[in-house]
Amino acid sequence: MKAFRGKSRKTADAPAALGQRIEVDLERLSHDGRAIGRWQGRTVFVDGGLPGERVVGRVLKARSKLIETRIDSVLQASPERVAPACRHAELCGGCSLQHMPHAMQLQVKQQALAQQLQHFAGLEPEQWMPPLLGPAYGYRQRSRLAVRWDRKQARLEVGYRQRFSSDLVEVKECPILVPELEGLVQALGPLLRELEGAAALGHVELIAAQVPLIVVRHMQPLPPGDLERLRTLALDHNAECWLQPGDPDSLHCISGAGTEAAYVLADQDLRLAFAPGDFIQVNGTVNQGMINQALQWLAPQADERILDLFCGVGNFSLPLASAGARVTGIEGDKQMVAQAKINALNNGLESPHFLVADLSKQLDTKLFAEGCDAALLDPPRDGAELLVQGLADMKVGRILYVSCNPATLARDAGILAGQGYRLTKVAVMDMFAQTSHVEAMALFLRGTASGSARKAQ
């Protein structure tokens, strides 16, 4: 009888088991900042690793040819490895690149964008512009804290989502926040756990404005004693506390006079008010630099007609109007459109015109009988596939695209390139330092030019 020649599950070809620790030599970085190595013929992604390191990774996912791990220990460290500034960095899902020098983070983000442009559109920009820089820490002016009532322990957990888990990290610090918000994070956890209505809390949002805002979402009415504790917290931190018991219209201030929240664009001498539920950029320094760069790249001329799509409360519309352009801002949220109109009037700008429209659908070009000379768009992560086709149909001469997702930017860039546009300038923007999140700005010009960088698919 012949001996059995089948493969044992314990051979080198057996897949790694979940939770198994494996030693890996790391060779390079992926587009999202994870290190890549090989183990028993398989490609291994190691979250928290750097090229040149030998590490032990704990297996999170295992397939026949690919293994995903998180770093368990570093056997041989790269000389470029840096100590995270935050004690929660290993667990917290917010910042995945704190072990990496800031300059390397920017390189990873630019390489990620370049790979996406090549992969999805076969494009290279005519010119890579320098990254738009901001602070490495202490920059974030908006943050949402998750809360969860642990029924078994009858205790409220307050913090951020863990990496690779739905559990919470109960944070006592968060150095990427602006200082006034980090101080609130330190005080919030102990206070919220003391509330009689702690089990009814949803989430808490912190917003830095001229007066910091604490926005508490709750599903049941809070007792008077809880309201007084929240008012005291706000007073102690020179902040205002807002409650949201239902939909956004239920927002109301329970401390102070309900001061209007606002941020200032100092370079344009503009003040933009916003409601606690409105979208604003989380990084004030990079936002100001982004606006300055947009004005420089678009170079608006007096009386030029410019569309600002996804205009929000007027973040780009008002600076463009201040430069002399005739701006039409379009946004799907009617409350933000109303606020943009108020912001224009409060800054002495009568020319901007604002409309409410669903920008996930085809742009109604009939609204722009006079056409437009340029367009700026700042879409959500889904991008703007239908919009860029509409802009191309209108033969808009200059299109400035602000992106929070390299993949959808690349897809939309391919559409524009197919309609005769050149990708002339691209720059990454360091809006979210210490994270793998990539923000970028791209300028498209209609018409061909020598040296165009479109490549064959």
Distance CA 140, CA 81 (A): 24
- Residue 448 burial (CB count, 10 A): 11
CB under 8 A, 24+ apart: contacts of 162-168: 162/91, 162/92, 162/93, 163/47, 163/70, 163/91, 163/92, 163/93, 163/96, 164/47, 164/60, 164/70, 164/93, 165/93
DSSP letter assigned to residue 120: H
DSSP letter assigned to residue 198: G
64 CB-contact burial (10 Å; exposed 0-12 / middle 13-18 / buried 19+): exposed
Q: Give me the catalytic one of 92, 241, 372, 404.
A: 404
- What six digits make up the tokens of 235? 């007073």
Distance CA 381, CA 106 (A): 20
Q: Measure CA 109 to chain center.
A: 13
Distance CA 315, CA 196 (A): 40
Strands (E), 176-247: 201-207, 213-218, 240-244
Tell me the CA end-to-end span of the chain in Å, nearest whole number: 57
Distance CA 102, CA 108 (A): 10
DSSP letter assigned to residue 28: E
Angle, helices 179-194/224-236, rounded to nearest 10 degrees: 160
Active-site residue 404, yes or no? yes
Closest CA to 330 of 370, 362, 303: 362
Closest CA to 292 of 400, 212, 162: 400
Phi–psi pair at 456, nearest 5 degrees: -65, 140
321 CB-contact burial (10 Å; exposed 0-12 / middle 13-18 / buried 19+): buried
Asked if residues 433 and 139 have their Cβ atoms less than 8 Å apart, the reply is yes
DSSP-assigned letters across all residues of 80-110? T----SSTTTTTBSS-S-TTS-HHHHHHHHH
Distance CA 302, CA 382 (A): 33
Asked if residues 260 and 280 have their Cβ atoms less than 8 Å apart, the reply is no
Angle, helices 385-393/406-418, rounded to nearest 10 degrees: 20
Catalytic sites, residue numbers = 404
